[in-house]
Amino acid sequence: MAQSTLPEQSEKYVQKLSLLRKNLSSVIRGKSESIDMMMVALLSNGSVLMEDVPGTGKTTLAKALARSLDVPFNRVQFTPDLLPTDILGSSIYNPVDGTFHFREGPIFCNILLADEINRASPRTQSALLEAMSEAQATIEGVRYLLPSPFFVLATQNPVDFHGTYPLPEAQLDRFLIHLQLGYPDAENEIDILFSQSTEHPVDHLERVLNHEEVVQMQDQVKTVHVDQSVARYMIDLVNTTRNDPRLKLGVSPRGSLMLFRASQAIAFLKGRNYVLPDDVQHMAEYVLAHRLILTSKAKYSSITKLDVVKDIVNKVKVPT
Domains in the chain, start-ordered, CATH in brackets?
Answer: 1-199+207-223 (3.40.50.300), 224-319 (1.10.8.80)
Task: Please state the pTM of the whole predicted model.
Answer: 0.87
∠ CA 262-267-268, rounded to 5°: 95
∠ CA 31-56-42, rounded to 5°: 50
The pLDDT, as a whole number, for residue 48 is 93
DSSP 206: P
The pLDDT, as a whole number, for residue 162 is 62
Q: What is the pLDDT along the chain (320 residues), one digit of tens a residue?
A: 444 556 666 677 888 898 899 888 888 887 889 899 999 999 999 999 988 777 777 788 888 888 898 888 899 999 999 999 999 998 888 888 888 888 999 999 999 999 889 888 888 888 888 888 888 998 888 899 999 889 899 988 876 666 678 888 888 899 999 988 777 778 877 877 777 766 777 777 888 899 899 999 999 999 999 999 999 999 999 999 999 999 999 999 999 999 999 999 999 999 899 999 999 999 999 999 999 999 999 988 889 999 999 999 999 999 97
The pLDDT, as a whole number, for residue 226 is 96
The pLDDT, as a whole number, for residue 32 is 87
The pLDDT, as a whole number, for residue 250 is 93
- 3 state SS of 10: helix
The pLDDT, as a whole number, for residue 249 is 92
- In the chain the beta strands, taken as DSSP E runs, fall at 48-51, 69-70, 73-77, 89-94, 99-104, 111-115, 136-139, 142-145, 151-156, 177-179, 209-210, 247-249, 293-294
The pLDDT, as a whole number, for residue 224 is 94
The pLDDT, as a whole number, for residue 70 is 86
The pLDDT, as a whole number, for residue 181 is 78
Q: In Å, what is the CA distance from 244 to each residue of 126, 232, 249, 271, 284?
A: 29, 18, 9, 35, 16
